[in-house]
Each structure stands twice: as structure tokens, then as C-alpha cells.
Structure 1
Amino acid sequence: MLWVEGPLSYVEQLCVQSFLDAGHEVTLYHYGPVTRVPDGAAVVHGDAILKRDEFIQHGRTGSLALFSDVFRYHLLAQSDRTIWADTDAYCVKPFRTETGHYYGWESNKHINGGVLGLPKDSPALAGLLEMTRDEYGIPEWFEDGEKTKLQKLADAGTPVHCSEMQWGVWGPHAVTHYLHKTGEDKYALPIEVLYPIGFKNRRHMVKAARLASAESCLTDATTSIHLYGRRIRRFLSSRPGGMPDKGGLIEKLLRKHGIDPHAAPIPDHVAAAEAAE
């Protein structure tokens, strides 16, 4: 996992603790001071994986998800028996893979990399690493018209930086493309395994009245729940005290893992909590 800097809120604490309680060894990488990390997680400076003088931020949102994308690809290329997990991925049960591949469909169109395991010799991983070396590169899966437009801008000396491209360009869109290209999409797990509660229903995890709806999405095959950190933090911060409903799924999980949300609140200035996803 990666949390660039700053205190963890109860959302990230819950996710880190869920992996620890499932029996996984957890390493949380960081670049600046980080606090409120659950006991048992190793805290390691990100320079151990990728040295950076500057962090790539999305132009519209300011999110560091682009840098997080690059970091996870380098992490997997340098590590054995390792699976990447976003700090908004909740572990339902231990992750297991015989092949080193561990990722799943988020929709009928996209494989998400919020949980991502790839063997070091994966052709898709090689493609992702090569693509992210050029921050002004034109993604090969773009439509011809868009590629032509971007090439003209590049030829005119005004290339478009990846931070100004569509959301997820180095994340789910790239992961999906390269896994399709290399045939490694055959290892992708069904939606119910890693992304059972979709983005449009994310608020169901907060509301007590939606507990049954949220839990109905979970099956015996489910190993993770994606909490959609940036968006769920924003929603939680708009509620009284920044708290989820008592009796809602998130509150239920907080109680299960002994996380006190009052001890690690969502910051008033939510952007301060958006160090990584």
C-alpha cells in the first residue's frame, strides 16, 4: 500500500487492519510523515521502490492516483509474492493466487488495478512500465482521431501531459488494455470477487437503511470490497461529525476490527486526506 504523507483516517485504518486481521503481512509505503498507522503494519519509505523528486497529480482533481499507478507497477516488478492493494481496499478474506495474477473486473468494460498482483515477468506489467516512462506519451488504445489530435499538439511543441488526460489513463484503462493485449485478462476475477459494490452504489456502504442492499452484493467468492476512498471520504465529511450511520456496513466493519472513527476522523479539509488512493 502507499500513503504519500499525512495521518490516516478511519477509512484507511479499517482497510489496513482488515489485511492484518486476515493474516497478511502489510507494508505501507510513504514519502512524508505518516501517522495513525495500525500496529503490525511495516512503514517503509517509498524511495525503497521508486525515487521521485516530484509527484504527478491529476490536473482536474489534484489526486496523486497517477503517481500511485506508477508506484504499484514498479513495486510489482521488484517484488516476489506481493499483491498491491489501494488504501481503500477492504480485505474480506485472505488473497490467494497460484499464478501471481490477482485482479478483477470492476465493470463489463474495465479491469481495475486497485488490487493488483502480477508476476515479475508479466508482459502486461512490462507494457505498463514502458508506457509510464513517458509522461507525454499518447496511449496506444486511444481512438485514431484522438491520437491524431494529440500528435498534432506534440508536433506543435505543446504535448499533452498525462495529468491532463482522462481519469484512469494510467490506471484501469491502461491495466485493461495491456491485459487484453497480452491475453492475461483470462486471469481476471469476476466482479463479485474484488468490486462487488459498484461505484454508483458506494453510498450504500455508509447508510444503515442500505445495509441489506450492500451486503446482498457480497458472495462466498468475495475477497475484497472497494470503498472508493476519495469519494467516500468526501461523502463522509459532509455528514454529522464525519461519521457513517450506526448499523451501516462501514460502521459494522469498524466495530468488527476495533477501529474508533472518532480517534482518526476525516479531516475537515478533505483534500488533506487525499494523499493516495
Structure 2
Amino acid sequence: MSGQPHIVGRLFWTSVIGGGLGLWYGRPAFALTALALAAILIWALDRPRRFRKRVRGIARRHARTLALRRRQESFVDPYGNLIEDGWLRERDYFVERTILPEIEARGFADYAEPHWDAMVAIVEAVAAAVILPDAAEAPEDGIAYEQFCAARLTAAGWRAHATQASGDQGADIVAERDRVRLVVQCKRYAKPVGNAAVQEVAAACRYWSGDMAAVVSNAGFTPAARKLAAATGVALLHHDDLDDLHPMRQVPGRGRAAAPPA
């Protein structure tokens, strides 16, 4: 049932019941009925504000993750154009899978379709308001980027070292913590990383007898890479995620992907 008929029904039945009581009890009942009708109208008029507040609260619970995904899934192409296709898909996915179920459970099901753009705008504003570490701090050179990621893992409590350029079998970093071995491939790209990197690190994890595998990049990942990562148990991370990465015993190819920290 939509919100408007619901409000109309409340007003109608309050008037009918209050009018009947007013005929029996007189002015006090009529006065109480008028107050009840006013309260219903105020509640109805305040509903859009409550809806926006609810959506904003949900988005703020995931603000840092949204901000990271916004950075990861946006890049500048060789022609200088800002490409945000990946972020736009991610933003819509978040609204559909995270926001909609909660607002529907809170009685705003009728707001979902007509207020879609408003929800998207709120998510965009929340993600844009988060101040993230400067992305420019990541070295542009591939070898330096691997060392940079290894240092981030070390600071997070891992014993991490970059592998040799030859004979690494697709692993750029091998790290251990709490008896869990992590195998990482690093990609310093100007565009989303494809599924070849996922295939390579999954194979490298088996070669190095790893428990976790991850591709780390300053850029985002293609839909094909995300689909393959979900099937093979490979985590797809931004280098900022390394600061909070915890051990998970998840061998690629034997279950769901290890998720980045929220």
C-alpha cells in the first residue's frame, strides 16, 4: 500500500471515530479529534525528512568503504576524460542491495522508485565527504609500488617481503601473520585491472602454498575480474585496505572471496 492512501485512511478513520465520539461527549472529544488529525498531518509532512535521514544514516555507516570504492572505480583515461562507470555501477548496487531493504523494512517502500535519484545523490555526497589519504603518495613505478604495498602490510603487522622479479610465479609480495600466508600481486594502473591478474595470483597462491590471495591496485577492477575473484576466493583491494587487512584462512578456489575490510 502506498504512503498517500495510508495517510488518507488514517485521516478518514480518525475523523469518523472522533466525530462519533464528539457527538456523544461533545467539545472535548471534538478537540481531541482535531489534535489527532493535526498530529497525523505533521507526521505525514515530516515523512520526507525522516526518509532522507534514514538513507543518510545507512550511507554514513559505510562511508569510508564507499569513499574507497569511489576512488577505486574512477580513473582518467589517456584522453584526459574522467571515467566513473565502475563507481556509478557500485553506487547503484549499494542503493539497491543495502539501502532499499532497510528503508522498505522501515515503512518507506513507496519511496523507493520515485526517490531513487535522491538516494543516489545522498550516497554520492556521503562518499565525497570522506577525506582519504592522498592517492598520489603511491609510487608510479611498478617495483616501487610493490615495495610501497609491502611496507603498508608490514605496518599492519604482517611479515611481508617483495619477491624476486623472476621466478615469482605471479606473486609480487608474500606476507605472513598469525600463521596465515598471504600472496599478493600489485598493479599500479591508470585503468581498472582485468581478470588476468586474478588468474595469476590464484595460481601463485597455490605455488607458494598460500592461505589468502589478493590483487592490490590503485585503480578499480573490471566486472569480469570481480566475477572471477568471487569464484576463486581472491580478494580485490585498494592499497589503502592494507592498513586494516586481517588474516583469513581462505585458499583461492575453495570458497568465497576474502572480503576487504569494511
TM-score range, shorter chain: under 0.3
Q: Which has the higher helix share?
A: 2
Q: TM-score, normalised by structure 2?
A: 0.24
Q: Choose between structure 1 and 2 for higher RCO, CA contacts under 8 A separated by at least 6 residues.
A: 1
Task: Please report the TM-score for the alignment, with normalisation by the length of structure 1.
Answer: 0.23
